[in-house]
Structure 1
């Protein structure tokens, strides 16, 4: 018989006791400890380590996010002092481990966008290799030819002299014929002076292509440095006493969850419904009418301004993304492993992730454009890249609007 899934907003659904929360937190704490053991066994690296260490760091972030979100949503049923002490530490750990991956993904996204916008060849080194190989073959052939010529030069000296005399007489005759023909032709009109009235698309693409290489090198230098610093920060964090204190608390959580006495008879559904209501209110406050247009010119005004503050339009969308994550994790607590995928929430979450990635990439391009003493072609390429990523932001907002306006028809 199929199990009935409980809707946190359905008043007729059965109550979900605090034991479900305790089981969920113990399972996530066990996953955290398992990922930590794997991370230590693989050398403790992140991007510079093996694929297993990268997966272990991702699993650490995943478990830390879910534990922190559950402590936030269901905090009335947990020991207040304990939950308020560990929740900021989990947020610190998750954010620290996520920075290196974020810089790597941002650099890859920007370089791919530069190649797409400039039309540059993805692998230009192949042409240089082929040219070097061809030049080597030509050098070998020329050397062989010089050897053969040196061997037979003494034999054909007299014939070469006669050939040179004949070629000289023929060249003089051909020059006289060309001079006579040129005198009979009308003079050519001079080309118009000055640049053309309108720049051609080819010239604009040429400027972008010239600056794209330097812009890519600048972004790679800045983001690689940031990623290296994030890697060092993550390693220091994992070896600090602060992290060891967090790991000790998670180890205790794997065996004992500090629930309040009211959690035994309490119901998790009202708290999960409150998380969903906060998400609905935040979505209602979004400018979905503006997001319904394919182009939002107001979003580009802030772009390359001297103010390095984050884009003012992005903060409400980032908040909705966090609230959507809290809502998803609350559903996992209620339904456990039997929770099925809500296509509407999944599509909306993917759109908000695209929005976050594009907005941060646009900010990185704008920051690179503020670098002192860069060439005009480089600044032009970075400006085009920034505008492209802001258009990606608008496309993600439009996709979220389209997915969220669909009425939830149940989970599949």
Structure 2
């Protein structure tokens, strides 16, 4: 049996609750501090501020016909400004972590910069290392090399020591040059000791004890040139991204501090304080059903999703997100705008459901939650790819660095495709269950 229809009173209760959460988070944010190295409580307080500001702004947008028009039109952009300003620092931090983790994964190195193939050998326990004799510890590097050389000579069999002919010992380098034919001297210049420059002497093939030529051990296959170039450029690419995004995060932090202390923010806080006690509803709001307005938000979301290329997104590895590649144009990727719009409309739909159900902290539909997470991943990957492309446009960077940034950009665009595929799966599942 269905309960009574939610009216403007439910909207007023929801707005008062979110305004109270905003003021509580603001007080906690001021108490815990907002420095660059703030505590985890300060980060949680900023997140709670953004959360309540988004919900108030979304409710003013969806149920605008039940509220005072001038007040809601003036309040919505201010709350969006607060939420966007506080979110920039966190966005740059998470973007840098995402890009560095992708670089380490693609180049085969761990966050410390050690190649994974050699990291096991570099971590040999101290007990397994060969002890150095006490006499050699006291000796210097030159004496150490001389002693090692003498010990190796003494331990080698006498038969293996190559005797030098007496005639060659007495000859000078000038006499050794006479052994080179005259025709070759005119063509190939001779080196310091009579050998032709650039032509090393032929080495005798090593033989086993029985006199049979011994085969040389096959060299292990080297890594692909692409992985080598990526490993070389990944370190410089990571340093470049770290420098650019850290600078952007510092500027965003300074902007947030200035915004929190500005008269504009204090005016918003005063309006939210008034909203916590009095909601400017219209005269007919208390008798108006909220469900048609919430259904209109759902219809706008459905229309936006219908315009998306879900059939193409349903095929994994379709490479649609890589069509444009690295472009010198700094305009955002044209394919991403409709997906970003769907993400915002999905958020409006979720918040409208909270108002209608009168359960701000109640259980969330898992399908909507999964779809929202997929769109968040889409947004993060798209912005990370744009940051990699922006770093690749830096003038006078090394070719290996540009190559690593290009591979990183392609990897993040593949993540964009994966997020689209995940959203398509969630949305199709929701459509089948509701039809």
| Coarse TM-score class (shorter-chain normalised) | 0.7 to 0.9
- Could you tell me whether the CA contact under 8 Å between 1:324 and 1:349 is conserved in 2? yes
Instruction: Spell out, residue by residue over 1:79-121, the C-alpha distance to the aligned partner (whole angstroms, 9 max, x if none).
Output: 0000000110000010000000000000000000011111013
Matches within 5 A, 1:6-405: 14-45=4-35, 47-124=36-113, 142-144=136-138, 170=158, 174-175=162-163, 202-337=224-359, 339-405=362-428
How many residue pairs align between the two structures?
374
Superposed displacement of residue 19, structure 1? 0.4
SS of the aligned residue for 1:388 comes to: helix
3-state SS in 2 of match to 1:374? coil
**1:169, distance to aligned residue in structure 2 (A):** 11
Higher deviation after alignment, 334-343 or 309-318? 334-343
Structure index of larger Rg: 2
- Label 1:170 to 1:250 Cα distance change in 2 as closer, same or farther (>3 A): same
Q: Is the 8 A contact 2:101 2:111 kept in 1?
A: no
Cα pair distance change 1:179/1:363, threshold 3 Å:
closer
User: What do residues 246-300 of structure 1 show as CA deviations (whole Å, max 9, x unaligned)?
Assistant: 0000000000000000101111111101000000000000011121222343422
Gaps spanning 5+ residues in structure 1: where? 7-12, 150-162, 189-198
Deviation at 1:143, TM superposition (A): 3.5
Conserved in 1, the CA contact under 8 Å of 2:113 and 2:235? no
Cα drift, residue 139 of structure 1: 9.9
Q: Answer whether contact 1:342 1:410 (CA < 8 A) is retained.
A: no
Question: In the TM superposition, what is the alpha-carbon distance from 1:21 to its structure 2 partner?
Answer: 0.3
1:153 is matched with none
Are residues 329 and 144 of structure 1, via their aligned partners in 2, closer, same or farther at CA, if it must alter by over 3 Å?
same
Offset of residue 185 of structure 1: 9.2
> Could you tell me how far 1:57 is from its partner in structure 2?
0.4
Compare the two structures and name the one with the higher helix fraction.
Answer: 1
Structure 2 gaps, min length 5:
144-150, 166-202, 216-220
Question: How far apart in 2 are the matches of 1:234 and 1:218?
Answer: 24
Contact 1:303 1:311 survives alignment (8 Å): no
Q: 1:127 to 1:172 in 2, by over 3 A?
A: closer
Question: Against the structure 1 CA distance between its residues 380 and 261, is the aligned structure 2 distance closer, same or farther, given a 3 Å change threshold?
Answer: same
| CA distance in structure 2 between the aligned counterparts of 1:169 and 1:267, rounded to whole angstroms | 102
TM-score, normalized by length of structure 2?
0.77
- Report the CA distance between 1:336 and its aligned residue: 2.0
Contact 2:16 2:276 in 1 (8 A): yes
